[in-house]
Amino acid sequence: MNNETLLQLEHVYQVYGSGARRFTAVEDVNLTLSVGEFVALLGPSGCGKSTLLRIIAGLQKPSQGKVLYRGEVLRGVNPKASIIFQTFALFPWLSVIENVTLALQMKGNEEPERSRKAEELLDRVGLDGFESAYPRELSGGMRQKVGFARAMAVEPELLCMDEPFSALDVLSAETLRGELLELWTEGKIPTKSILMVSHSIEEAVLLADRIVVMDKQPGRIIAEHKINLPHPRRRKSPEFQHQVDLVYAILAGQTLSETEELGVAPGEIGQTRQLPEIEINDLAGLLEHFSESDRGIHDLYLLEDELGVDSEYLLRLTEAAEILGFASIAKGDIEATPIGLAFAEASIPARKEIFASRARRIPVIRWLLSMLHASEKQQLKWDLIRTALSLEFPPEETENQLEILINWGRYGALFNYDDDTETLSLESELEKGASVTNG
Ligand code: ADP
Ligand code: MG
């Protein structure tokens, strides 16, 4: 591999919104892509991965900072790059093969070479026999394959992919990963560098030469990790698992002091912590797993298989466990706390009480409870809370956070939410009694 630089980001910032709603989605990103490199971008949802990809492809100009392509400042869309999105937009009025030949035609390919090449590409992605079908006749997975064939047909120098396999079923995803890797490692495509956004640690370790890890609040690069394993890589090999373990250690970070973990309440100086979107039953499942095991400390990377969840969701579950003080994490290992084990071993009503007492320590929940206490009839409209929260979180995140708060509050019987009137209210003693007698 040579070290010829293809792309460089220098002190790139992306700010969205304005006034009080202004927030920094991407902060001071420096990144270099070299010729011959397959780089994966990993990080929690909302950390700015898609934003960076769009900036790199020239679809979006950063608020600040420089994008250099082969040493030249990039202006407008990068003609040497092509981007594959999670779900690919095809021309619905064109057949499968026409969708691909169109891309070849724009590259200047002539018939009959054009059709031959298109057929070969479709064959590669497993769409042999579907050449004359129309996009509407295909499953989501098959449409994505056409998208891949089309992106390959363009033969981009820089191939950018935004979670390209995540909308596919497990088998199609694995097949396509294999096809892509073969095209890439055997030099069957003229592509010089690949940048892939992924939310799966395993996928990144399977494909990439280098993993760039991001974190959110604000979105930024926190680490880079090289994967020096030769291809083909075996997911079950000890070397592979070791790499997955190391990347988990970077992504999961380390449990901080309680004040640092919990953040501040809305309106206070500092960061209001975003709560991870999880099913509380799954969190209970994680803690039950710990309580039933004879091991005290668990490798995060092993939990993925043991619990049957992907890395993205597992990291959200462990983050929730950290925030609630149910577990602590260091160096890719997780250990349940005594209170986490007590939660796992408790009856359902006792679990709810433990959960409530832990949740009350979270500043944003305490803030919501005190607002409810202070309000007339101890009720607040959903809209009003959303407005208050919108000053703390990115626009798309606000409603999400409110739903998580409602979900956690309902589980711990801290407050209630009425869907019809869109009102939050404090759970009164009377109502608690009523809900017990009514079953
Ligand atoms: P990721 O791909 O890592 O999930 P994104 O780059 O999509 O993250 O988004 C980063 C943050 O910026 C998120 O909070 C998202 O809601 C916000 N965001 C993304 N695009 C826009 C936009 N066009 N306008 C305002 N906010 C945006
Ligand atoms: Mg994204």
Ligand nearest to the CA of 47: 1
Q: For 10-14, 57-61, 115-119, 428-432, which range has the lowest pLDDT when averaged over its residues?
A: 428-432
Instruction: Write down the pLDDT at residue 429.
Output: 47
Condensed to tens digits (0 to 9), the pLDDT of residues 346-372 reads: 999 999 999 999 999 999 999 999 999
**Residues whose CB is less than 8 angstroms from the CB of residue 292 and which lie 6 or more positions away in sequence, other chains included:** none
Cβ–Cβ < 8 Å for 7, 32: yes
Cβ–Cβ < 8 Å for 195, 160: yes
Peptide bond into 349 cis (omega under 30): no
At position 66, the amino acid (one-letter code) is: K
* Atom number in ligand 1 closest to CA 393: 14
Check pocket membership of 18 for ligand 1, CB cut-off 6 A.
Answer: no
Check pocket membership of 44 for ligand 1, CB cut-off 6 A.
Answer: no
pLDDT over 60 at 431, yes or no: no
Strand-pairing partners, residue 34, are 5
Question: What number is the average pLDDT over the span 15-37?
Answer: 93
Instruction: Write down the pLDDT at residue 172.
Output: 82
pLDDT over 60 at 430, yes or no: no
Instruction: Write down the pLDDT at residue 109.
Output: 86
Cα–Cα distance for residue pair 431/439, rounded to 1 Å:
12
Check pocket membership of 16 for ligand 1, CB cut-off 6 A.
Answer: yes
Q: What is the DSSP letter of 77?
A: S
| Confidence band of 154 (pLDDT split at 50, 70, 90) | confident
Q: For 71-85, 137-151, 299-313, which range has the lowest pLDDT when averaged over its residues?
A: 137-151
Percent of the chain at pLDDT exceeding 70 = 97
Cβ–Cβ < 8 Å for 144, 157: no
Instruction: Write down the pLDDT at residue 2.
Output: 56
Cβ–Cβ < 8 Å for 186, 175: no
pLDDT over 80 at 432, yes or no: no
Query: Where in the sequence of the chain do the CATH 3.40.50.300 domains occur?
Result: 5-251
Instruction: Write down the pLDDT at residue 437.
Output: 45
Question: What number is the average pLDDT over the span 135-153?
Answer: 87
Question: What number is the average pLDDT over the span 120-128?
Answer: 87
Check pocket membership of 25 for ligand 1, CB cut-off 6 A.
Answer: yes
Question: Which of 14, 16, 195 for a ligand 1 pocket mutation test, highest count of atoms within 8 Å of Cβ?
Answer: 16
Question: What number is the average pLDDT over the span 187-215?
Answer: 95
Cα–Cα distance for residue pair 5/144, rounded to 1 Å:
30
Q: For 99-103, 283-287, 326-330, 351-355, which range has the lowest pLDDT when averaged over its residues?
A: 99-103
Query: Where in the sequence of the chain do the CATH 1.10.10.10 domains occur?
Result: 259-348
Instruction: Write down the pLDDT at residue 428.
Output: 62
> How crowded is residue 431: how many other Cβ atoms within 10 Å of its Cβ?
13
Check pocket membership of 325 for ligand 1, CB cut-off 6 A.
Answer: no
The fold of 361-438 is Arc Repressor Mutant, subunit A (1.10.10)
pLDDT over 70 at 287, yes or no: yes
The fold of 259-348 is Arc Repressor Mutant, subunit A (1.10.10)
Check pocket membership of 162 for ligand 1, CB cut-off 6 A.
Answer: no
Report the chain's C-alpha Rg in angstroms. Answer: 25
Q: Tokens in use for 381?
A: 């409209």
Cα–Cα distance for residue pair 272/42, rounded to 1 Å:
23
Instruction: Write down the pLDDT at residue 168.
Output: 83
Question: What number is the average pLDDT over the span 307-322?
Answer: 96
Task: Write out the residues surrounding ion ligand 2, Cβ under 5 A.
Answer: 49-50
φ and ψ of 289, to 5 deg: -60, -45
Percent of the chain at pLDDT exceeding 90 = 74
Question: How many angstroms does the Cα of residue 217 sit away from the middle of ligand 1?
Answer: 12
Condensed to tens digits (0 to 9), the pLDDT of residues 253-270 reads: 999 998 889 999 998 888
Give the three-state DSSP class for 436: helix
| SS3 of 322-387 | HHCCCEEEECCEEEECHHHHHHHHCCHHHHHHHHHHHHCCCHHHHHHHHHHHHCHHHEEEHHHHHH
CATH architecture of structural domain 5-251: 3-Layer(aba) Sandwich (3.40)
Cα–Cα distance for residue pair 149/156, rounded to 1 Å:
12
**Residues whose CB is less than 8 angstroms from the CB of residue 41 and which lie 6 or more positions away in sequence, other chains included:** 49, 52, 53, 195, 196, 197, 198, 211, 212, 214
pLDDT over 90 at 103, yes or no: no
Of 115 and 396, more confident:
115
Mean residue pLDDT of the chain comes to: 92
Question: What number is the average pLDDT over the span 405-410?
Answer: 96
Q: What is the pTM of this model?
A: 0.90
Strand-pairing partners, residue 66, are 10
